[in-house]
Amino acid sequence: MKGKLLIVLAGFLSATLALAQPESGRQWEYKMFAGYNLGGSTPLPLPAEIRKIHSWSPGIAGTLAFHATRWLTTEWGITSGLAIDVKGMIVDTDVKYLNTSLIVGEGDHTGTFTGMFTGRNTTKLRNGYLVFPLLASYHPFSLWTFHLGGYFALQRDARFEGNASGGYIRNGGPAGDRINIEMSTFDFSDYVRKTDAGLMALADWFFTNKLAVTGQLSWGLLPLFPSDFNGIPYKMYNIYFMGGIAYRL
């Protein structure tokens, strides 16, 4: 039994090593992939104003992409393409002394108030982008391909809204009048930056000749809002991981 097991293991290792040899004769390679985005548009590090995170969910967020790779050698190439990317999250937090603007539609005070809010905050975010990557590709084995580089993205639609409740706002600043907030809303969708850019890393594991499991990390370097926006006192960045399936054309 031990001898048969050793023969089987030797055969398995031989087949794996044979598959792991670099391919030759390729110049162009094309693939399409789709996946689900997990992550958030977040400040780094978390600011002191956010005291507690009650819940987080990714909402409806996904990627559909086409990539083309020009292989310069059997191992090295350059990849670019186009992706339709939706990044989103729903997060529920407790905040303290958060400088923001709120719209109050009911209660003793109605209107728009800007100042320091303390209470509960729920934010719903879903932003759509057209993404253009430029990546260096490394193909050490037939089963694996790695990509590293950057991306530029055009925002095509934005949603950044939510509500604040169970607290109060100091209208005008820390020493302003205290306005109790039972329920209020905010909508900063029109202020989301029209472009994004950052770093991108991908890995493909081709479990068949055509199909692969794909993972992608995109790390935005541009803040979500422009520098003159004062609705949120800290900078937020798009940081998302995508897991999906790729198909080699």
Instruction: Tell me the domain boundaries of the chain.
Output: 27-248
Residue with tokens 């059997």: 74
- Would you state the structure tokens that stand for residue 139, as one six-digit string? 């193909």
CB-based contact 84:64 (threshold 8 Å):
yes
pLDDT at 105: 66
Residue 13, SS3 per DSSP: helix
55 Cβ neighbours under 8 A, 6+ residues apart: 90, 91, 92
Q: What pLDDT sits at residue 172? A: 80
Please give the pLDDT value at position 106: 64
Give every residue of the chain whose pLDDT is below 70, as ranges: 1-26, 105-109
Q: Which residues, 6 or more positions from 176, have their beta carbon under 8 angstroms from its beta carbon?
A: 115, 116, 170
Q: Which fold has domain 27-248?
A: Porin (2.40.160)
Q: What's the pTM?
A: 0.83
Structure tokens at 57: 């969910």
CA dihedral 69, 70, 72, 77 (to 10 degrees): -20
- pLDDT value for 175: 75
Cβ atoms < 10 Å from Cβ of 196:
25
C-alpha torsion angle, residues 133, 136, 137, 138 (rounded to 10) = -150
Tell me if 98 sits within 8 A of 116, measured CB to CB. yes
Quick one: pLDDT at residue 20? 39
